[in-house]
Amino acid sequence: ANFSEQVVESFPSDISTGIYYGWACVGNGDVHKMVLSIGWNPFYKNIKKSVETHIIHTFKEDFYGEILSIVIIGYIRPEKNFDSLEALISAIQEDIEEAKRQLDLPEHLKLKEDNFFHLPESKIVNNH
C-alpha cells in the first residue's frame, strides 16, 4: 500500500530513510503487522521519495481509496541498493521476519489496541 505524493510530502522531513516496522489498519478493519519503506528505492532508481507499506496479511480484495492508518514502532535498517531482484526479495523477507519478532514483544503488542486505529464513522470510506 503506497501513500500518495501529498501524504509523503507531509511526513517529517527529518525522518531517516530506511525500513521500519509497526502496525497498520485499512479503514476501520483489523490492525495488522506491517513493514514500511521510506526512501527512493534505489533498486528501482526512483526520483521521488516514497512511503510504501507492506501489511503482513492477505486481503480478500483490493482496498484502493480506503484510509490507511499506520503507527511506526521501530527501525530495522537503512535503505540500500541490491545487485539483483532476488537479493531485494530476500532482504524484504528478512525485514518481515524481524518485524514479526519485534511486534510480538509485549510493549509493541499493546499498541495494536490503541484508539488511534478506531476511525470515527464520518471518516469511513466506501461503506467500510
Query: What DSSP letter does each residue of 18-82 carry, written as one string?
Result: EEEEEEEEETTS-EEEEEEEEE--GGGT-SS-EEEEEESS--SS--TTS-EEEEEEEEEE-----
Q: What integer pLDDT is reported at residue 121 of this predicted model?
A: 59
Which letter does DSSP use for residue 3 in this model? P
Q: Is the pLDDT of residue 128 over 60?
A: no
pTM given for the model: 0.85
For the question of residue 97 being annotated catalytic, the response is: no
Domain layout of the chain by residue ranges: 5-121
The string of pLDDT tens digits covering residues 80-99 is 888 898 998 999 999 999 99
Identify the active-site residue in 5, 52, 86, 113: 52
Q: Vertex 54, ends 125 and 102: CA angle to 5°?
A: 115
Q: What's the sign of the alpha-carbon dihedral 104, 106, 108, 111?
A: positive
Instruction: Considering only residues 72 and 62, tell me which one the structure prediction assigns the higher pLDDT.
Output: 72
Q: Which of 38, 49, 39 is nearest to 9 (CA)?
A: 49
CATH tag for 5-121 (out of 3.30.565.10, 2.40.30.30, 3.20.20.140, 3.40.50.1440): 2.40.30.30
Share of the chain above pLDDT 90, in %: 49
Q: Is the pLDDT of residue 62 over 90?
A: no
Q: Is the pLDDT of residue 13 over 50?
A: yes
Q: What integer pLDDT is reported at residue 119 of this predicted model?
A: 63
